[in-house]
Amino acid sequence: MNFKNIISFLTKKKFLIHYGIALAFIIIVISITFLSIRISTHHGQALSVPDFSGMTVKQAQKIADEKKLRIKVIDSVYNGPGRRGTVIDQNPPPDIKVKENRRIFVTIKSILPKIIKMPNFIHTTLVQAKADIETYGLRIGKISYEPSIFDNVVLKQKYKNADIEPGTGIPQGASIELVLGKSQNLGNTVTPDIYGLTLEEAELEVADFMLNIGTVLYDKTVKTYDDSINAKVIRQRPKPNIVYQPGEQIDVWLSLHTDTLNAE
């Protein structure tokens, strides 16, 4: 077929009709393909993540359904700010742009504390027991002493004034009382400076000095449980650097107004 015949064939009406139909078919197929991809991937569609903090799981789920999102509870904590049974953290955070059907992971403040198995702190030093207690999510409670040839070694562990065996179920966040050994050579300690610390921080600090927190008083700025967690020591008795016997107590006053610090 020579060049003239090719041109003649390509310009025939029948060929142009078939070519146009084929071209239209290809265009339609490509358009449908891109449209399907756009729909399946929600191309160009982004949703702003709502702020679920302070909501119950049921309330958060309702809002998520309306926004075509999904809620998944991944953790719960007993201590911390916020009302019990409500969302206190989420990922992704509020206002982040996501696609429909995205799963939002939330942490709630539990109504009941998590139950854990009581560890064994007996025969460990005060320093080691203090570190382990924090690791298990427990708290240092009252420290007392009994005669022993081993100074500051845990002789007994107690919960609510009663001995507690390792492996016993106990609420996370509970205060563990320690009975430590004390020889005649243990000597005295001094009172630490705990001004500006929260109650929990103060408990840990005085434990390092083999002492206890005694009376705890809050001023009128502290009105809720969350306030008590955030309040800080504005006064202590005795004041810092006083020679003291191990196992004695330091009384504290707490407030949300740290500008009222009183180095009595």
Contact, 132 vs 119, CB < 8 A? yes
Average pLDDT over residues 146-153: 92
Q: What is the pLDDT of residues 212-229, one digit of tens each?
A: 999 999 999 998 877 888
Largest CA distance in the chain: 120
DSSP structure string for the chain: --HHHHHHHHTSHHHHHHHHHHHHHHHHHHHHHHHHHHHHHTTT--EEPP--TT-BHHHHHHHHHHTT-EEEEEEEESSSSS-TTBEEEEESPTT-EE-TT-EEEEEEE-SSPPEEE----TTSBHHHHHHHHHHTT-EEEEEEEEE-SSTTBEEEEEETTEE--TT-EEETT-EEEEEEEE-TT---EE----TT-BHHHHHHHHHHTT-EEEEEEE-TT--SHHHHHH-EEEEEESPTT-EE-TT-EEEEEEES-GGG----
Average pLDDT over residues 161-171: 95
Q: Find, among 114, 98, 109, the residue nearest to 47 by Cα.
A: 98
The share of the chain scoring above pLDDT 70, in percent, equals 86
pLDDT at 179 over 60: yes
Tokens of 216: 């705890």
Q: How confident is the model at residue 77 (pLDDT cuts 50, 70, 90)?
A: confident
Question: What's the CA gap between 214 and 244, in Å, rounded?
Answer: 14
Q: What is the pLDDT of residues 136-145, one digit of tens each?
A: 989 999 999 9
* Model pLDDT, residue 16: 61
- Any idea of the CA torsion for 133, 135, 138, 140, to the nearest 10 degrees? 40
List Cα–Cα distances, 56 to 92, 112, 128, 139, in angstroms.
18, 15, 39, 28
Q: How confident is the model at residue 8 (pLDDT cuts 50, 70, 90)?
A: low
Q: What angle do CA 52, 55, 61 make, to 5 degrees?
A: 70
Q: What is the pLDDT of residues 25-36, one digit of tens each?
A: 788 878 777 666
Q: What is the pLDDT of residues 50-73, one digit of tens each?
A: 999 999 999 999 999 999 999 999
Tokens of 111: 């109504």
What residue has token string 């705890």? 216
**Lowest-pLDDT range of 30-39, 97-106, 133-142, 194-203:** 30-39
Q: What is the pLDDT of residues 40-51, one digit of tens each?
A: 555 446 788 999
List Cα–Cα distances, 15 to 4, 11, 18, 75, in angstroms.
16, 7, 5, 68
Tokens of 17: 């009709």
Residue 43 neighbours by CB distance under 10 Å: 11
pLDDT at 175 over 60: yes
Q: How confident is the model at residue 5 (pLDDT cuts 50, 70, 90)?
A: low
pTM, two decimal places: 0.61
More confidently predicted of 20 and 244: 244
